[in-house]
Structures are given as structure tokens and as C-alpha cells.
Structure 1
Amino acid sequence: MSTFDDREHAFEAKFAHDEEMIFRAVARRNKLTGLWAAELLGKTGDDALEYAKSVVIADFEEAGHEDVVRKLAADLGDKADADTIRAKMAELLPVAKAEIMKEVD
């Protein structure tokens, strides 16, 4: 195998790894956002975890995070508007990334 082929495989592996880390961070962010919303809804324990799981699953409806925002806005009603939800998601993404990085170490 040539040096060029080695480099190509290394770049492909790095790209795949980076994409997996982004996917995991977004899923973790959605879980954390779901737990935040569950608290606003008065859910605790297993009910809160199940609700957070439903938020993670909602992200698979379409590309981007607006599907999650719509679900949470509908569920939360007057407890939080879409802008508040987006702000919480933005706040929790670095937290999710930090948690993922701790697990990798």
C-alpha cells in the first residue's frame, strides 16, 4: 500500500470518527434537553428518562434540530417557547461534548 493510500485511509477513519462524535454529542444534548423539559413537566425518575429518550428519538424525524424543538414546544406549552428551547439546546451542546470526551478518555 502506498503512502497516499495510507493517508487516504487515515483521513477517512478520522472523518468517520468525527462524525460519530458529533452524532453522539447531539444525541446526548437531546437527552439533556429532554431531562430539562421533563423537570419542567414535573417528571422524575424513570418517567423523566423515558421522556428524554422520546426527545432523542424525535430527532430522527428530519435533518436538523427543529423536529426536537417542535416536540418540546408542543409538550411544554406555555412553560417554554421555541426560542427558550433553542437557547437551552445551545447551552447544553458543550456540556454534552464535554461528557462524551470524558467517556473517551
Structure 2
Amino acid sequence: MSDPIRERERAFEAKYEHDEALRFRVLTRRNKLFGLWIAGETGLSGPDADAYAHDLIEYDLVHAGAAAPDLIAKAQSDLSRKGIEMSRHRLELRLAKLLHEAEAQVNAELVGKPVH
């Protein structure tokens, strides 16, 4: 006979694991979109833009995890080195907008629908 308490515990653990994996995918996608946007602002395109986005993803994984302030500080510093001044507020707004876009993209991928 199965133990309902253990089954419930396993179900909660599985849900937590699924939710964390989904959260990771969404944040990684957000950071990629943010990196591509910053790259565009600095005049990068193609493989150079992709490389910058990848670097931003890695930076966030190593230095901040989900802490957007460190990611924003890096982006602001990168923009400043290119002679582009952009307010922290504008970067925060863009990051928030891209979080919603990333959520929509990941959710659409999970249900197999293209995002426009």
C-alpha cells in the first residue's frame, strides 16, 4: 500500500523542481533578450551580438544569479564604455519588459505555439 504523505511530498518536490527549472529558463531567456537589446544599442549585430548576449548570460550566472541589479550595472558599464549613457531606470524597465516577453516565449514553447 502506498503512503499518501510520501506521495504528496514527492509531488511537492517534483513541482518545486519543475518550477525552478522553468524559472531558470525564463531568466536565461530574459538575459539573452536583454543582451541582444544592449548589443543593438551599441551597434553590434549577428555573431557579435549573440556573443555579447552569451557573455551577459554567463555574467549573470556567475555573479548574480537572479539579481537584476548586478546585471543592470554591467550593462550600464558596457554602454558607458561605448559612449552611450542610459539611465538605470530605463534599463530596469527594459529588463522588466523582457521578463514578460521571455515568459511568453518559454510558455509558448512548452505548449508548442509560435510567439509573434
Q: TM-score range by the shorter chain?
A: over 0.9
Unaligned runs of 5+ in 1: none
State the alpha-carbon separation in 1 of the partners of residues 16 and 70 from structure 2. 26
Report whether the alignment pairs 1:87 with 2:89.
no
Q: Letter of the aligned partner of 1:92 in structure 2?
A: L
Residue pair 2:64, 2:71 contacting (<8 A) in 1 also: no
Q: Letter of the aligned partner of 2:93 in structure 1?
A: A
Unaligned runs of 5+ in 2: 112-116
TM-score if structure 1 supplies the norm length? 0.94
Percent identity reads: 36
Q: Which of 57, 62, 65 lines up with 2:64 in the alignment?
A: 62
TM-score if structure 2 supplies the norm length? 0.85
RMSD after superposition: 1.1
Report whether the alignment pairs 1:24 with 2:25.
yes
Q: Deviations over 1:55-86 (max 9, x none)?
A: 11111203411221111000112342221111
Q: Letter of the aligned partner of 1:100 in structure 2?
A: V
Residue pair 1:35, 1:49 contacting (<8 A) in 2 also: yes
State the alpha-carbon separation in 2 of the partners of residues 100 and 6 from structure 1. 29
State the alpha-carbon separation in 2 of the partners of residues 43 and 79 from structure 1. 17
State the alpha-carbon separation in 2 of the partners of residues 104 and 18 from structure 1. 13
- 2:102 maps to which residue? 96
Q: Letter of the aligned partner of 2:13 in structure 1?
A: E
Consecutive aligned runs of 4 or more in structure 1 exceeding 4 Å deviation:
none
State the alpha-carbon separation in 2 of the partners of residues 6 and 15 from structure 1. 14
Q: Deviations over 1:18-40 (max 9, x none)?
A: 01111110111011011010000
Give 3-state SS (helix, strand or coil) of 2:64's partner. coil
